Amino acid sequence: VGADGTGHTVEVASGVYIERLVDQIPSGSAASRFTLKSTTSRGAILRPTVAGACIQVNNSGSYFDIRGFVLDSINQPANSGGGIAFSTETQGAITQIGLIDLEIDANVKGDGITASRSTFIDVKNCSIHDTSCTAPDVGLCHGIYASTGSRNWLVERNEIFDNSGYGVHFYDAGV
């Protein structure tokens, strides 16, 4: 797709993909979002073999939707995975993102969704369950963990259960 995702939709066929998406999702615009979606709801499975979140956005990203994926870190070392991570030092540089119809499943070895300084994030119709950590991080893996400066999140119509930490934890987030 390139650097400009404005108005584009990329459809991913059902199957298991042994990779992480790190800073690979282009931004759209307020008038025309970028969409990354599984052609079949929860048919495309991201199952990376190296440490880190299945989908990770660092520093900036905006106006995009991720739809219909399963995020599974079963092949990663303990406490090194996670479903989705948004990380930035600039308030609001990661903004206007939709996470829709995702399953972040029992094999995630970290937070289901973790974020800092991310704004206007919608989490809808997702199943986030059985995330876990081992010692010394037992109890610190949450379904959703939004910290430091994360604001204006909408979390609706989700199933969030059986996580080793809180289901949803907004910490020092001003939300």
Sheet with 94-100, strands from edge to edge, namely: 9-12, 34-38, 61-67, 94-100, 118-124, 154-156
What is the overall mean pLDDT for the chain?
A: 89
pLDDT for 109-164, tens place per residue? Answer: 788 999 999 999 999 999 999 887 776 666 678 999 998 889 999 999 999 998 88
From CA 67, how far away is CA 39, in angstroms rounded? 9
pLDDT of 28 reads: 95
pLDDT for 57-67, tens place per residue? Answer: 999 999 999 99
Task: Determine how β-strand 34-38 pairs with β-strand 55-58.
Answer: unpaired
Within 13 Å, how many C-alpha atoms sit on residue 19's CB side?
Answer: 7
Sheet with 127-129, strands from edge to edge, namely: 15-17, 44-46, 69-71, 103-104, 127-129, 159-161
Q: Which residues pair with 169 in a beta bridge?
A: 145
pLDDT of 50 reads: 86
Give the contacts of 166 (CB within 8 A, at least 6 positions apart). Answer: 142, 143, 145
pLDDT of 108 reads: 63
**What is the pLDDT confidence band of residue 13, given thresholds at 50, 70 and 90?**
very high
Largest CA distance in the chain: 46
From CA 49, how far away is CA 41, in angstroms rounded? 23
The residue with greater pLDDT, 2 or 24, is 24
pLDDT of 1 reads: 52
